[in-house]
Amino acid sequence: MAASCARDWADGLPADVLLAIFHRLDHIDILMVADRVCHTWCAAARDEPSLWRRITMRGDEGIARRINRCGMACEAVRRSAGQCEAFCGESPCLRSLRLISCSGVTDEGFIEVVKALPLIDELELSLCDNVGADGV
Amino acid sequence: MEVDKGKGEAEETRKVAEADRDTVTLKSSDGKLFEVSKEAAARLSTVLAGMIAGGSIDDNGTDLKQIGSEALENVVDYCNKHANSIPSAALISSSISFNTAPFKEPEEWERKFVDRLSHDALFDLVEAANFLGMERLLDVTCHKISEMMKGKSPDQIREVFNIKNDYTKEELEEIRQELAWAFYDD
C-alpha cells in the first residue's frame, strides 16, 4: 500500500484509539517498536498500565532469537504497575518461577502451569492464598 | 448510498412519521446526506442508539459535524452491509482464547471492507467509529491497523504511517540504553 498519508498518525489519533490498536499487538512488538516511533507512541506504550493487564509474549522465530525474553517479561510486568492479571508466553525451558501476591492463581491453574514446565527447579510462592498444600 | 434530496423530496420525507421509518438520515460535516438502516445503526453505534432512543434524530439529516462525507459513507456502508450479513458460526461461538479475548476476529467481508481503504480513509474511519461508539467497527479497523504494524521496525512504521521522527539522536540513544538489558541485539 502506498504511504501517501496526510493524516497525523502520531498526534491526531485519539489516545484511546491508539491504545486499542496497541492492545491488538503482541507485547514483544510494543516493547521493541512503539517506544522508538515517536514521543506520543512512546508515552502510550509506557504510561498506560491497562495495556499490560493481559500480557502476551509470543514473538515470531526471527525475533525470538534476538531477544532476552526474561528481560522483556520483567519490563512488561513493570509497565503494568501492579495491574497485570494474566501473562502468556511460550517458555518450556523455564527453570525458575516466582509468584508473589497472585491471589487469582488457584491449585488447579498452578498444577497446569507447572506440568507445562518440565525443567523447573526453583519455585517461590508468596502471598498466593489460593494455592494450597495440595497444589504444591 | 448518498441521497441527494431536492426540496420536494425533503418535504415528502418530513411527512413520514419518524417512528414508521426504518432508516435514519445522517449529515456529514460537508453537508452530504446518507441513509442508514435504523436497526443496524442502533445496534452498531451506542451514540446513534442514544440519539434514536432520545428522539434527537432529524429527518432532514442528523448533523454529524465531526465526520466527513467519505468516512460517513464508509460508516453507513458498513452498517448496511452488517444489516444484511448473517453472523458466521465462527463469530458467534468465537473461542475465547487468551490472545483474542476480548476481541473477535473480523469476518471475511469485514477484512475486505477495510483492506480496500487508503491509509487516510482508514484513519478517518477509525476516528468516526470511535466518535460514534461503534465497538465492532473499531475492532475491525484497529485490527487492520495493528496488522499493518506487525513485524515492522520503528523506521518502517514511521514510513508506513508517515510519522515524523521527533526524537533527537540523544533521546533515541537514551531509550536504547534504557531497554538494552531486555534485548540481545542492541
Question: What ipTM was predicted for this assembly?
Answer: 0.75
Q: How many domains does chain B have?
A: 1
Which among B123, B151, B163 is the nearest to A37, CB-wise?
Answer: B163
**At residue B9, does pLDDT exceed 70?**
no
Residue A45 is predicted with a pLDDT of: 92
pLDDT means over runs of 10, chain A (136 residues):
68 91 89 91 91 81 68 83 78 70 73 74 76 69
Interchain pair B163, A33: CB under 8 A? no
Contact predicate B171/B165, CB 8 Å: no
Alpha helices in B18-118 (DSSP H): 38-44, 46-53, 69-84, 89-92, 108-115
pLDDT at residue B15 greater than cutoff 50: no
CATH of the domain at B50: 3.30.710.10
pLDDT for the residue numbered A2: 44
When pLDDT is cut at 50, 70 and 90, the band that residue B120 belongs to is very high
pLDDT at B42 over 70: yes
What would the mean pLDDT of B82-95 be, rounded to a whole number? 55
- Is B80 part of any domain? yes
Residue B87 lies in a domain: yes
Rounded to the nearest angstrom, the minimum Cα separation between A33 and chain B is: 5
- Does any domain span residue B181? no
Q: Does A2 reside within a domain?
A: no
Q: Is the pLDDT of residue B11 over 60?
A: no
Taking the CA of residue A61 and the nearest CA in chain B, the distance in Å comes to 11
Say whether pLDDT at B90 is over 60.
no
State residue B91's pLDDT score. Answer: 47
| Predicted TM-score of the model (pTM) | 0.76
Structural domain harbouring A26: 10-89
Locate the DSSP E strands across chain A. Answer: 54-57, 86-89, 96-100, 122-126
The pLDDT of residue A71:
78
Grid coordinates representing A31 are 516493547
Is the pLDDT at B153 greater than 60? The verdict is yes
In the prediction, which pLDDT does B74 show?
97
Looking at the structure, do residues A78 and A112 belong to the same domain, yes or no? no
Contact B164 A10 (CB under 8 A): yes
Residue A5 domain-assigned (yes or no): no
b/e A78-97 (16+ beta carbons within 10 angstroms → b): ebbeeebeebebeeeebeeb
Average pLDDT over residues B95-121: 76
Query: What confidence score (pLDDT) does residue B96 get?
Result: 40
Q: What percent of chain B has pLDDT over 70?
A: 76
The C-alpha of B144 sits at a distance from chain A's nearest C-alpha, in angstroms, of: 9
CB nearest to B163's CB, from A10, A24, A75: A10
Question: Do A80 and A113 lie in a common domain?
Answer: no
